[in-house]
Structure 1
Amino acid sequence: MTRRPALDGLRAFAVLAVMAFHTSPAAHGGFLGVDVFFVVSGFLITALLLREHERTGRVDLRQFYVRRALRLLPPLLFMLAVTLPVVLTIMHGDMRINPVVSLLSVVFYVANWANVFVNVGTGIWTHTWSLSIEEQFYLIWPLVLIWVLARRRRSPAVGLAVVIAVVVVTRWVSAGSGESPLWVYYATTSHCDGLLLGALLAVLLEKRESLVRSPRISEAVAWVGALGLAGLFATSYIEASGTYHWRLPLAALFSAMVVHHLATCAQGPMVRLLSLKPFVVVGTVSYGLYLYHFPVFMTVQSRGYSHLVQHVLEITLSVALTVFSWFLVERPALRLKDRLPKITAPVVLPAPAGGVGEQPV
């Protein structure tokens, strides 16, 4: 699959929705932008793994994890370095867990479980819960996918569909049984369905160009998904029980409908809209925006400024940190990532049933 600028445009809308949610009560459904990110990430990571396997007959796990680390860790560590003095001083009272423990939970990508543990979030690093779920997915899913591909007996599609159903039902039962909403929202076991649905979409598209018969049908399905997301954003509240029962899985489903079209069609009204340069630029730096905006927003909001001053400072500081990070932290790391060799040693896999030995994938 070639690079699709429209997917960056979709990321732009997702991150802007999340940012609006963190500063304006009117954007009460913006938290669903995270689920859009989950679907896009699950799809792209799985598509990359499948493409490597098809091209080379193997998947280089070591290089996969090195590339992930070079893409994700430098800006995360920069964010922690910038915000740690704030955590230790003016925002110290906002922490509900030892700052060192919280810092380690972010670095080792278990911040979502730290949020579950304290049951109120972890101050200005609370937002890293979603990064933790993604990284846990990146750690486990490639191993599972490689194992399935090595056996060559069946597609992982059926297994993925079953696991998605289990996650959705688990979340529904947990929400209905009086479990803490933070557990239901932050726990990997109850909020990874978007990532899995994106992975399922990539698996279904592995051997076919599209899941529908024509680009016009794909376009129509995508607009239904986009309008569905807009409706959810306008009517959802993170505290409502309906959010956990059906709104989160619907947000993932609608996102997958849009991602399917953007990944399979190179033209059309939605593709042209989301490929506009301002959207692509914002989507390209969306990781940095997500990382830096929350600490900035929480710190500025704690100072008691007027709404106008608050919003000006929130946007100005978030954009400044994002731009600084992109040019001085992220792009150098990406250049290093691009210089890595394309293929290294094959991955050693468990022997398929009926045989003994190693199988490169």
Structure 2
Amino acid sequence: MTADGGASAVDVPAAPVNAANRFAHIDAMRALAVVIVLFQHSGLTFVPGDSGVVVFFTISGFIITSVLLRERERTGSFDVKRFYVRRLLKLGPPFVVAILLPTLVYACFRPVHWGAVASQVFFTYNWVQVFDGAASYEVLPGSNVVWSLAVEEQFYIAFALIWFGLLHTRRWHGALIALAVAAIAYSTVMRVVLCVRGDAEAHVLRGTDVRMDAIAWGVLTALAYRSWRAGGSRWLGTVSRDWVPVVAVVLFLAVSAVGSDQYEAIWRNAVIPLCSAAVIVYGLLPTGTRLQTAFHRFSCWKSVSFIGLASYSIYISHYVLLEPIVEVWDGPVVLRTVALTALGVAAGSLLYVVVERPVFAWRDRVGL
């Protein structure tokens, strides 16, 4: 049996899991991704926090597809209602505590654009950023990070409906691959087209249509891993070699180092999903080499696993706290970065323990 609960036709050890019974290396990737975002929002503006968001997108595509594939293998069906309820219980409570309630308090003292606030609640805020930039700033300071949640949820709504339609067809696997490849191609072409136009930077950086390729790469990764477990896709074994994560990290750093405007986004957003997918697969196919053993040991550290588990709460809550401080703190950069990163992690961790965990416990008790 594999760690994700599916039967495996390949005789290899299972990838390590953490205390939450999740793949440890994927939570470690989440932890590193959210720390990258925190570094930028702590005032290190040369750190491309967007690169961390792209990693999140790829992981999300992999996880959500793996969950749906596992459900199909186990039950032969797809419970759409349960899928959306679980998404709501995952995202909703931390959002209410970290974004919505503070927005209501903030609105007592400063004007807000209630249409933009509504778009945050209903996961369309990224399009407000694209088409009404002025309104997108009339929200709770620091709450603009929810643009990435909007991208993910728009993709998931469409993906779940597509999956429901394909589930019982004979060629669902090939159709899903074709759709994911089409999404990647469309996003890539659209980024180029919009950049050539020269007047659509917000669209390049925030539009779902040009950011969905990272999630689609995660979908393809999950499909390839499923095929490999069943004895197919033998080529995937190449990704277990030690040079793969080394090249992935070098490429990630290289494309992240050159900036975050729309032109760098053309190829940065094309390369980082591949790097992320490669590291996901590398961790899933244990070989026992020294490098992979060290990678898995690092991933299993309690602190790393915890930050990965709490990464959503950290991400959604940190900037509301950090942005006002960054604007007034003119102290040493290193001290500010360390202090504010620690503050962001601490606040998000508290939100995770006080809000997310109890909701998860209740969800499991009622069988959702």
Q: Under a length normalisation based on structure 2, what TM-score does the superposition of the two structures give? A: 0.83
Q: Say whether the 8 Å CA contact 1:300–1:310 is kept in structure 2.
A: no
Q: Say whether the 8 Å CA contact 1:288–1:325 is kept in structure 2.
A: yes
Tell me which amino acid in the other structure corresponds to 1:334.
F
Q: Say whether the 8 Å CA contact 1:21–1:31 is kept in structure 2.
A: no
- Per the alignment, residue 239 of structure 1 pairs with 261
Written as runs of structure 1 = structure 2, the 5 A alignment for 1:1-361 is: 1-2=2-3, 3-25=22-44, 27-84=46-103, 87-88=106-107, 92=110, 98-119=112-133, 121-122=136-137, 123-155=141-173, 156-209=176-229, 212=235, 214=237, 217-233=240-256, 235-239=257-261, 241=263, 243-265=264-286, 268-269=292-293, 270-307=295-332, 310-311=336-337, 314-315=340-341, 317-341=343-367
- Alpha-carbon distance between aligned partners in 2 of 1:281 and 1:135, rounded to the nearest angstrom: 24
Cα gap change, 1:29 to 1:322, in 2 (>3 Å): closer
Q: Say whether the 8 Å CA contact 1:11–1:283 is kept in structure 2.
A: yes
- Alpha-carbon distance between aligned partners in 2 of 1:216 and 1:198, rounded to the nearest angstrom: 15
Q: Say whether the 8 Å CA contact 2:240–2:282 is kept in structure 1.
A: no
Tell me which amino acid in the other structure corresponds to 1:150.
H
- Alpha-carbon distance between aligned partners in 1 of 2:342 and 2:40, rounded to the nearest angstrom: 17
**Alignment RMSD, CA only?**
2.4
What do the CA deviations read for 1:120-163 (whole angstroms, capped 9, x no partner)? 65342211000111111121102112212221225211221122
- Pairwise CA distance, 1:86: 6.4
- Pairwise CA distance, 1:29: 2.4
Identity of aligned residues (%): 28
What do the CA deviations read for 1:305-360 (whole angstroms, capped 9, x no partner)? 53467546634542342233122211111112222436xxxxxxxxxxxxxxxxxx
Q: Say whether the 8 Å CA contact 2:68–2:78 is kept in structure 1.
A: yes
- Pairwise CA distance, 1:277: 2.3
Cα gap change, 1:298 to 1:39, in 2 (>3 Å): same
- Per the alignment, residue 12 of structure 2 pairs with none
- Alpha-carbon distance between aligned partners in 1 of 2:349 and 2:179, rounded to the nearest angstrom: 41
Tell me which amino acid in the other structure corresponds to 2:129.
N
Tell me which amino acid in the other structure corresponds to 2:259.
Y
Tell me which amino acid in the other structure corresponds to 2:119.
S
Cα gap change, 1:330 to 1:211, in 2 (>3 Å): farther
What do the CA deviations read for 1:259-296 (whole angstroms, capped 9, x no partner)? 12223338523233323222111111111111111111
Cα gap change, 1:312 to 1:16, in 2 (>3 Å): closer
Tell me which amino acid in the other structure corresponds to 1:49.
L
Q: Under a length normalisation based on structure 1, what TM-score does the superposition of the two structures give? A: 0.85
- Alpha-carbon distance between aligned partners in 1 of 2:53 and 2:319, rounded to the nearest angstrom: 13
Cα gap change, 1:137 to 1:185, in 2 (>3 Å): same
- Pairwise CA distance, 1:214: 4.2
Q: How many residues align?
A: 335
Tell me which amino acid in the other structure corresponds to 2:361.
R
Cα gap change, 1:142 to 1:89, in 2 (>3 Å): same
- Alpha-carbon distance between aligned partners in 1 of 2:367 and 2:170, rounded to the nearest angstrom: 27
What do the CA deviations read for 1:80-133 (whole angstroms, capped 9, x no partner)? 24532664377x48xxxx432222111111111121123365342211000111
Tell me which amino acid in the other structure corresponds to 1:282.
I
- Alpha-carbon distance between aligned partners in 2 of 1:115 and 1:86, rounded to the nearest angstrom: 23
- Pairwise CA distance, 1:227: 2.2
- Pairwise CA distance, 1:168: 0.8
Q: Say whether the 8 Å CA contact 1:29–1:232 is kept in structure 2.
A: no
Cα gap change, 1:300 to 1:256, in 2 (>3 Å): same
Question: Secondary structure at the residue paired with 1:324?
Answer: helix
Bigger shift: residues 139-148 or 186-195: 139-148
Cα gap change, 1:184 to 1:240, in 2 (>3 Å): closer
Cα gap change, 1:119 to 1:236, in 2 (>3 Å): farther
Tell me which amino acid in the other structure corresponds to 1:58.
S
Question: Secondary structure at the residue paired with 1:206?
Answer: helix
Task: Structure 1: state its 5+ residue gaps.
Answer: 343-361
Q: Say whether the 8 Å CA contact 1:6–1:262 is kept in structure 2.
A: yes
- Pairwise CA distance, 1:202: 0.8
Q: Say whether the 8 Å CA contact 2:240–2:286 is kept in structure 1.
A: no
Cα gap change, 1:87 to 1:211, in 2 (>3 Å): farther
Bigger shift: residues 297-306 or 8-17: 297-306
